[in-house]
Structure 1
């Protein structure tokens, strides 16, 4: 039922004058619309509100398609009406009409309701090339609107499956860490899928793939292995994959992320987290000890000026929680700024812990980690220890284009921490 849109020399044809005109139309077209005997269903979508078109709507949509084939335009102007035509155009494989409807719908004001309607269309439409721009626009709208999922937590938790997938696919979520995404996904799945079998199915086949496990903390990854919400084979696979990723060099990690960028789930692509991911190696003997690696992009360091700070993900040692905190320190006495690095003990209870610490930074010349400061200190909750000028140079020299401290745009920091009591 596809129509020709241009003449032999490429000019657009318009036959609106002949539509339903007695001088050109000498046949009567009878339309008989019957219900679909095998309606599509999405078993993973509980309480799914499908768009059910009445026979009258579908008949009107078919007439609109015929009108479009003659005049290259539609008389309908509302989102719901154009959507009816789009569904009918897909049924009769009128690709040019589908493209036209997609373009018109993208030009209309988008709302969360309309975006969810677009993503809730039958699978035959969702996979059609003609409307991919509309689908991508709807996903981007939802991801942008709900970018701060903590701010809109109640709304996001009530989104249907297609909506939560659109939000969690985004690289630009405003979240403290990927641990928060993991917690959020479990909370959503438990609310919408009370039966463990259904929950395992949707997490293993759909939502679990949107969690970027390589950027979760090691303590949280351990919990994934014992979480009954995930299929056991899926949990083992993603945790093993995450641990291997963490052991790769930053260059290799970047390569994996670049290879993954075209897939549905960019699981190796780092989001913009409030707390920066770290790699941690723990030792139990002869005394509790850990080695923590923190890599910062140069642009992240630039944004620290003149007096900002950032925090790493929490890591544990001796049953206590710690953070690393790089910052731009203002030395008012010398009227200059410099790069500082501090170790902060997280837990709030009145606990003191005597630690031995050593801070390292990787050299551009030797590619080795060189000691920058070390010492012993008794930490209490909320207290920190570190060095205000880790490299012993002004900020301008540290951040300069020819700086010796950035390797391929990355600052590589390492902290060794040992409990002494």
Structure 2
């Protein structure tokens, strides 16, 4: 017990020392190297990073006496600060492991390097993935959140020419308080939710209808019809969207046909309400084949005795569809249906490729009639360089969609019954 305490107290000061004294040389040397690298290289880097994220720089862009540009880049300093905090947390975790491991008794049985690798294979395998998760996913998320609390925007707060400053909740107050921002946010948000619901529901039920038709007993050469219906899904989506934009354009074949039969050309992509209808129609054409292919296999797995029993009870075709087919299909596809809603909520590609967010809405700030929240963010960042407001909207998307998806998924019957298994 005294040896264990001695090892443990020594590990508080010198990482890896207890492990080396116990004969666990590889582990001890690794922990010792972590401490050495932290002291030699880490502390100066962390000090500068924490200073940078706190101040976002103090030196404005200017030329020194030698004619060299001198400045603090606020965004780079913020990134260095975030990386510093993440690395500090990782090092703290390693330090805690070092101390806790020091309390463990020395292994009496001599083990080879191969045995140690086999025993810790799960940690060796998962560590690269965890590090990638931290620096490729968590880092951008934290960076986006922090940008929302700064004034990072054109034309007066873009580094390196200008410094960026922390502004607290000012951006949130403006997007909800200023009329031009508030009207744009409410209008785009309502259309985004409407679009996500209609795009998901129409694709789902049209796909179900196609699957029911193809799988009905009266239809011959089923493979041919399945192939025809799946063609839109097989063609690259972007190509299909660009073709649809040409088809529905003012001089496109649909308007040519309408004019040929004596009617007036329609502004499929230039009239606000008609443009929204066109987008839903195109999305239905692109998305329904996916659900048709998915539900074709589900329909074939529904027990036939359910339908036979319902026939004996005198059920109509509609009653069988309502009480047997749709519940069984929803049970299997609900998680995918929820995922489809989340995807359509952020379906940037279709909006960008077909309408570009247009037609123009003069009452909106940096947004058009068909812009979703995600395409509005794109315009604010790439076109207008309003990074602070774009980050605010990004946070709002996450706060809206994450609880909806999590609640809907956990409340689905398939999830609850799987949890009981």
> Does 1 or 2 have the higher relative contact order (CA < 8 Å, sep 6+)?
2
Structure that is richer in strand per residue: 1
TM-score by length of 1: 0.19
